[in-house]
Amino acid sequence: MTFCNQVSSTKFLRNQVKLNWLPRLTHIVFDDWIDFQDPLVLGYVPLLESVSLTNVALGYNKMVKLSRFLGSSSPRVLKLGFRSEKIWVQPECPTQDLASVFRQLRFVNLVKLPEGYDLTWTMFILEAAPLLKELYMTVWDDLCSMEMDEEKRKKESYSENKGVEWSAAAADFQHHSLVTLVIFGFESRLEWECGDCQDKKPTRFAWTKRQKISLKKRITAGVESFAIIHSNKTIRAGHQAKKLYPECSHFDAKSG
């Protein structure tokens, strides 16, 4: 675990971490915990505005309820990392506890979601965060960092079903604050690569103008929206910065 803007840096794996009284804490990064049952307990953290949580969930791990995990905090920035493995966040129906945690949320970044799985579960974040303005998602099976050996995956209980089902979103739900939605890796033909990739793969994005218009019609079907939809094979500089934001963990700095 790392406290951004602080001198000390400590990493916890098995022990429960209790932050009982940290009135000046503004940023927290919590990576690689093993015990999924209440690994982090937040006490008095009135200035906490940015939370980054990253982990690999195995098949036997229980899913995490953010309303319980984040406790009494109300961050403005939330980053959730999945390392291209099982979704470890439990979607929740609207409750007072969840509304309290998300009431000030303005920016959400979902990093390395596994490819090929329904993203509908992310709607619970929108439902519980009425002031959310920006939602970024990166859908990417990062083969360089994933465990690819089938025997090891089986022995170490990696989950082959990485998705999560969620169908509780109201059909007539509308969000009146969201300004930006960016999905990196939306097009499955777009080949991502990281700094460690040995074999550089060509980027393919063969959509025609007609296909892009058709996509926009499908996305906005039944919705009155003046949204501008971009389908780009390259990442804009501003979006690249947001793709990594908030970048203050040792893991992010290491993996680039």
What is the distance between the alpha carbons of residues 231 and 253, in angstroms, rounded to a whole number? 28
Q: Quick count: other Cβ atoms within 10 Å of Cβ 138? A: 21
pLDDT for residue 5: 44
Residue 133 lies in a domain: yes
Q: Which of 86-100, 144-158, 159-173, 227-241 has the lowest mean pLDDT?
A: 227-241
Mean predicted confidence (pLDDT) in 63-77: 92
Question: For the chain, what is the mean pLDDT?
Answer: 80
Residue 120: DSSP 8-state: G
Element (H, E) at 77: strand 77-81
Q: Which domain holds residue 147?
A: 17-200+235-255
CB 220 within 8 A of CB 181: no
pLDDT value at residue 249:
46
Q: Which has more confidence, 218 or 24?
A: 24
Contact between 96 and 67 under an 8 Å Cβ cutoff? The reply is no
With 90 as the cut, is the pLDDT of residue 144 above it? no
> Over 50: is that where the pLDDT of 256 sits?
no
* 225 domain residue, yes or no: no
Separation CA 84–CA 102 (nearest Å):
25
- At residue 194, the pLDDT reads 60
Direct distance between the N- and C-terminal alpha carbons of the chain, in angstroms, rounded to an integer: 18
Beta carbons of 90 and 98 less than 8 angstroms apart: no
Give the whole-angstrom CA distance, residue 67 versus residue 90.
10
pLDDT reported for residue 160: 92
Taking the C-alpha atoms of residue 173 and residue 169, their distance in angstroms, rounded to an integer, is: 7
pLDDT digits (tens, 9 = 90+) for 191-246: 555 656 555 444 444 467 777 777 677 666 666 666 666 666 667 777 778 888 88
Task: Please report the pLDDT score of residue 236 as a whole number.
Answer: 73
Q: How far apart are CA 204 and CA 200, in angstroms?
A: 12
In a domain, 224, yes or no: no
Given this model, what pLDDT does residue 143 score? Answer: 87
β-sheet bridge partners, residue 28? 51
- Give domain status of residue 46, yes or no: yes
**Torsion sign over Cα 194, 196, 197, 200:** positive
| pLDDT band at 19; cut points 50, 70, 90 | confident
* Domains: count for the chain: 1
Report the C-alpha gap between 113 and 80 in whole angstroms. 9
Q: Does residue 11 lie within any of the structural domains?
A: no
- The pLDDT assigned to 10 comes to 42
Residue 118 makes CB contacts below 8 A (sequence gap 6+) with 163, 165, 166
Q: What is the pLDDT of residue 13?
A: 54
Three-point CA angle 227, 232, 237, nearest 5°: 90
Q: What is the pLDDT of residue 134?
A: 96
